[in-house]
Amino acid sequence: MELSPLGWSDHFQRQLTPEHDTLTPGRVAFRHGHQATVLGEPGELAALVPARLAGGDASAVAVGDWVLLDPGQDPPFVRHLLDRRSALQRKAAGRSSDAQVLAANVDLVLIVTGLDGDFSPRRIERLATLAWDGGATPVVVLNKADLCPDLPGCVREATAAAPGAEVLVATALDGQGVDLVRGLLPAGRTGVLVGSSGVGKSTLINHLLGYERQRTGAVRADDGRGKHVTTARQLLPLPGAGVLIDVPGLREVGVWGGDEGLQHAFSDIAELAAGCRFADCGHAGEPGCAVQAAIAAGTVTAARLASFHSLRKELLWAQTRHDAAARAEYERFWKQIHRAQRQHKKLRAREGR
Ligand SMILES: Nc1nc2c(ncn2[C@@H]2O[C@H](COP(=O)(O)OP(=O)(O)O)[C@@H](O)[C@H]2O)c(=O)[nH]1
Ligand SMILES: [Mg+2]
Ligand SMILES: [Zn+2]
């Protein structure tokens, strides 16, 4: 198996030193605890992951990682985890402030939504924030177009929810739109599929692979969701194209990371904010707010601004757990909101409203 179609690049080559001469690079296609499936020049290998790389946090081996294997051992042993060039990460479950890597070294995050009731611009915003934050580019895939009564309306909403992202329309059931997805993933590129269960990810994957690799779930008539068909996170090389990482059933996903992802995912609001009268405008009712003006003019929805505020709050909160500077920023954020609310009230009182 050649490495470059799998995503091997200078970024990884540069990390090799002479002491690594006896080791073999490979890409992690699957991991369960200490066991991993690694794709490399010899083909597909079952490898062992040592305890220090087998935890649940960002320092552990994740699907999509490049590792160096010791082929002298049986089974081959993972010796090194090479530095990632990007990663789709979410906040780890529970009270922990750690990140969990869903997919490593990804170019594109394909946000798949079904147009049969699953469609939610708010979820698209959340996933786009994670994508930008991880150094990847989001792409929105609107699937089940056959079931959508207002396709142009949904495309418009999705486009507004993810500025800078391509929006594709597909009916994976009969293969429509599959070529558009394949076109985004030439050899060497990596895409990760995310979305709720039942939106058609496995159907799309089967088309891209050209055979029925994955079971697909029938939709329950009562709630429009797919039956629970559990599969694990895994990396799949596409014939004649790049690789795809499947992250099944991602319903709850906590944002994690810095502010850049959010600024990118809400670039329209960030740009408008430059025109607000106050440099630290919280867009919460201050006078001369360009964002509120855009809402009044109908170019930005109030729901989108609310989503921006709540993701920002969530992000800052996650950061406060391990970072005093972020805690100060969090407090500043709330002070600003409260000040804006007070100003707003005063203004209204003065205007006799
Ligand atoms: N009507 C319609 N159904 C689809 C489409 N794509 C997938 N489905 C169906 O939706 C259900 C869930 O699909 P599946 O690929 O298992 O979703 P996953 O959970 O995201 O992997 C299956 O019954 C599919 O046949 C589509 O474009 N249109
Ligand atoms: Mg599936
Ligand atoms: Zn403002």
CATH number for the domain spanning 38: value is 2.40.50.140
pLDDT number for residue 324? 64
CA gap 61, 74 in Å, rounded: 19
- Residue 77's domain comprises 4-81
Classify residue 254: in a domain, yes or no: no
Classify residue 216: in a domain, yes or no: yes
The verdict on the CB of residue 203 being under 6 Å from ligand 1 is yes
pLDDT number for residue 330? 64
- Asked if 284 and 333 touch (Cβ cutoff 8 Å), the reply is no
Q: 270 and 230 in one domain? A: no
- Asked if 67 and 61 touch (Cβ cutoff 8 Å), the reply is yes
Which residue's CA is minimally distant from atom 7 of ligand 1?
A: 200
The verdict on the CB of residue 202 being under 6 Å from ligand 1 is yes
Classify residue 261: in a domain, yes or no: no
Q: In Å, how far from its chain's centre is CA 8?
A: 21
Instruction: Calculate the alpha carbon distances from 90 to 63, 104, 231, 311, 318 in Å.
Output: 14, 12, 19, 13, 11
The verdict on the CB of residue 224 being under 6 Å from ligand 1 is no
**Start-to-end CA span in the chain (Å):** 72
Q: Which residue blocks in the chain are alpha helix, DSSP H?
A: 10-13, 121-133, 151-161, 178-183, 201-209, 260-265, 267-273, 290-297, 302-320, 324-350
Q: 128 and 208 in one domain? A: yes
- Choosing from 110, 143, 173 the residue with most ligand 1 atoms within 8 A of its CB, the one to mutate for a pocket test is 173
> Is residue 75 reached through a cis peptide bond, with omega within 30 degrees of 0 on the bond before it?
yes
Classify residue 277: in a domain, yes or no: yes
CA gap 135, 11 in Å, rounded: 14
- Domain end, chosen from 187, 211, 246, is at 246
Provide the 8-state DSSP code for 41. T
CA gap 26, 19 in Å, rounded: 17
Q: 204 and 77 in one domain? A: no
State in Å: Cα 247 to ligand 1 middle: 15
Amino acid at 131: A
The verdict on the CB of residue 216 being under 6 Å from ligand 1 is yes
| Tens-digit pLDDT string for the chain (353 aa) | 899 999 999 999 999 999 999 999 999 999 999 999 999 998 999 999 999 999 888 889 999 999 999 988 899 999 999 999 999 998 876 655 578 899 999 999 999 999 998 899 999 999 999 999 999 999 999 999 999 999 999 999 999 999 999 999 999 999 999 999 999 999 999 999 999 889 999 999 999 998 777 777 654 434 444 444 456 889 999 999 999 999 987 767 888 777 889 999 999 999 999 999 999 999 999 999 999 999 999 999 999 999 999 999 888 887 776 666 666 666 776 677 667 767 767 776 776 65
Q: 238 and 93 in one domain? A: yes
pLDDT number for residue 223? 42
The verdict on the CB of residue 217 being under 6 Å from ligand 1 is yes
- Asked if 138 and 128 touch (Cβ cutoff 8 Å), the reply is yes
Total count of domains within the chain: 3
CA gap 185, 178 in Å, rounded: 11
Determine the atom of ligand 1 nearest the C-alpha atom of 195: 20
pLDDT number for residue 57? 84
Q: In Å, how far from its chain's centre is CA 274?
A: 27
Residues bordering ligand 2, an ion, CB closer than 5 Å:
201-202
The verdict on the CB of residue 147 being under 6 Å from ligand 1 is yes
Q: 230 and 337 in one domain? A: no
pLDDT number for residue 211? 79
Instruction: Calculate the alpha carbon distances from 316 to 10, 131, 148, 310, 334 in Å.
Output: 34, 17, 36, 10, 11
Q: 100 and 77 in one domain? A: no
The verdict on the CB of residue 141 being under 6 Å from ligand 1 is no
- Choosing from 201, 203, 228 the residue with most ligand 1 atoms within 8 A of its CB, the one to mutate for a pocket test is 203
pTM: 0.87
Determine the atom of ligand 1 nearest the C-alpha atom of 231: 21
Q: 241 and 116 in one domain? A: yes
Residue 271: CB partners within 8 Å, gap ≥ 6?
none
Amino acid at 77: F
pLDDT number for residue 322? 61
What pairs with residue 80 in β-bridges? Answer: 68
